[in-house]
Structure 1
Amino acid sequence: MIMQKLCLLVGGSRGLGAALLKKYLNENFQVIEFSRSGEGEGHVAVDLGSREAAIGAIDEVFAEQKTRSWDEVHLILNAAVVDPLGPLSGSEPEAWWRHMDINFTLPISILGCLQRHFQGVECRKVAGFVSSGLAVSAMDGSSLYCATKAGVEHFIRSMALEQARLPFPIECANLNPGIMDTGMQADIRESSAAELSQVNMFRDFKAHNALVDPGIVANNVFAVLTQPFENGGRIDVSG
């Protein structure tokens, strides 16, 4: 009998997200991908910068999918922004709020939607949050990014404790992807030293071919999430 497997991928239009989309499709998962600029049969157009509309659209899809018979369900939270960089005095509150909505409010809200709709579904359920080394190591110029990644990581750890008490638990993982060759890295390299004092370090990573191909990280993510792992743990999926 063919296994019915579903991947709910938030942020799959480019970089690691696009590599994850390809990997899961190749492994015979049905993939529903949420982003503004994605494409393909499983794409659902959402503007993650519009908090209420994005959560509403994602919640509606979750409600529909829970009625189907699944053997395994993966949620991967990959969407994130890095702007604004630099001290907050150099940007406007609207930019701060957008950053926090995309990097913090949406991941937690989507995890809540997963619980609401899939908690009672009797199958293996996995939630993977694509985090960053900056969740545990502070860097000047990235205060919002550090804070939001750390916040969601701690939510995941707490959620794992809650899930351990339930009959059909969701397995939760914080995924550290390392430093990849993505559009976000390109954006960081365009920063000024006033915004990010360590910008030359990121430029050196690119110059010395030290950035990992997202496809390698996607393979690692799949390998980790399809096998037993420590619920609530922080897992290195870098190349």
Structure 2
Amino acid sequence: MTPRTVPPGPPRPPGRHVLVTGASGGIGAAVCAAFAQEGCAVTASDLPSGALSALVERLAGAGASARALAADLADPQAAGALVDRASELAGPPDVLVNAAGIYPATPLTEMTADIWDRVMNVNVRAAMLTSAAFARVLTAAGVAGNIVNITSGAALRARYGAAHYSASKAALEMLTRSCAVEFGPHGIRVNAVSPGFVTVDSAVNPVTDAYAAAVSVNPLGRPGEPDDIARAVRWVAGPEASWMTGSVVRLDGGASAGTTTLPRHWPELSGTQAGTPHEEVTR
């Protein structure tokens, strides 16, 4: 694509078309609902399931323009064609939210190439293919748009059994920056929202109660809710963030800032710390 400057789009017009992948999950479904509440047309994409159908029925029942688009994003053909298929249903999308992701717990000593590749294909390659297709469509039309990728605090911290997931989210954050650089001259902003642990009760990505309790520890003292993330996504894709691109917004209750669980390493000041004269400290 030949770079050219496109001015930012108008302030959040009614009728924007928003394409959301991973729409059946807790975060994806909340993102769909948040945009639908603004009067946006929503195309919800995920594997075919009762959850996807129920989401669209719920949104349509509330008066929203909503439709389901089944796709297996592990298939590069399906991921690459997703934007074109969404465009046929409701016109070219103005916003793409890449929320699809899987995180199987697999220690490295048990990792296979197939498991590694499936995580990378769904979590990173699909986002690359949908984002590139989105940019092609909008550039051809000469209009501005927004991409928001859902990453994770795992991009910054390794954890047991999640080497593939953490690597995929770190890669997705760099993909976000790369897309921002290449698509920015065309008026397409690309950012990421990085949640901490969010309570979603996912059948696709189940976690144990013990794991949820361990990763929910943060300065604000609670896990996130899908609506916490959805509101941030909506803001990032809106006019209030019109000069933001290539950024990663950390939404984790302060978990990435530090921990509240460690005790004070020593309850009292040492003599040197308190400024006591050296001869008194060494007596």
TM-score (norm 2): 0.70
Tell me the distance in 1 between the aligned counterparts of 2:78 and 2:199.
27
Matches within 5 A, 1:1-239: 3-36=14-47, 37=49, 38-39=52-53, 40=56, 41-49=66-74, 51-62=75-86, 64=88, 68=91, 73-87=94-108, 89-164=109-184, 166=185, 168-183=186-201, 187-189=206-208, 200=210, 202-205=212-215, 210-226=222-238, 227-228=240-241, 229-238=243-252
* Residue 144 of structure 1: how far off its partner (Å): 0.6
* More moved, 90-99 vs 145-154: 90-99
* Residue 65 of structure 1: how far off its partner (Å): 6.5
CA contact 2:193–2:232 (8 Å) conserved in 1: no
- SS state of the match for residue 174, structure 1? strand
Tell me the distance in 2 between the aligned counterparts of 1:4 and 1:202.
38
CA contact 1:188–1:202 (8 Å) conserved in 2: yes
Tell me the distance in 2 between the aligned counterparts of 1:77 and 1:56.
13
Aligned length: 222
- SS state of the match for residue 85, structure 2? helix
Tell me the distance in 1 between the aligned counterparts of 2:83 and 2:14.
24
CA contact 1:7–1:75 (8 Å) conserved in 2: yes
- Structure 1 unmatched ranges of 5 or more: 191-199
Select the structure of larger CA radius of gyration: 2
Identity of aligned residues (%): 21
CA contact 2:193–2:229 (8 Å) conserved in 1: no
Tell me the distance in 1 between the aligned counterparts of 2:224 and 2:164.
24
CA contact 2:35–2:234 (8 Å) conserved in 1: yes
* Residue 174 of structure 1: how far off its partner (Å): 1.5
- SS state of the match for residue 94, structure 2? strand
Provide, for residues 100-130 of structure 1, a one-character-per-residue CA deviation record: whole Å limited to 9, x for no partner. 1101111111111111211233433000000
* More moved, 114-123 vs 126-135: 114-123
Provide, for residues 207-230 of structure 1, a one-character-per-residue CA deviation record: whole Å limited to 9, x for no partner. 997211111221222123212242
Assess, with a 3 A threshold, how the Cα gap between structure 1 residues 204 and 140 changes in structure 2: closer, same or farther: closer
TM-score (norm 1): 0.81
Tell me the distance in 1 between the aligned counterparts of 2:87 and 2:236.
27
CA contact 2:128–2:175 (8 Å) conserved in 1: yes
CA RMSD, Structure 1 to Structure 2 (Å): 2.7
Tell me the distance in 2 between the aligned counterparts of 1:98 and 1:175.
22
* Residue 48 of structure 1: how far off its partner (Å): 2.4
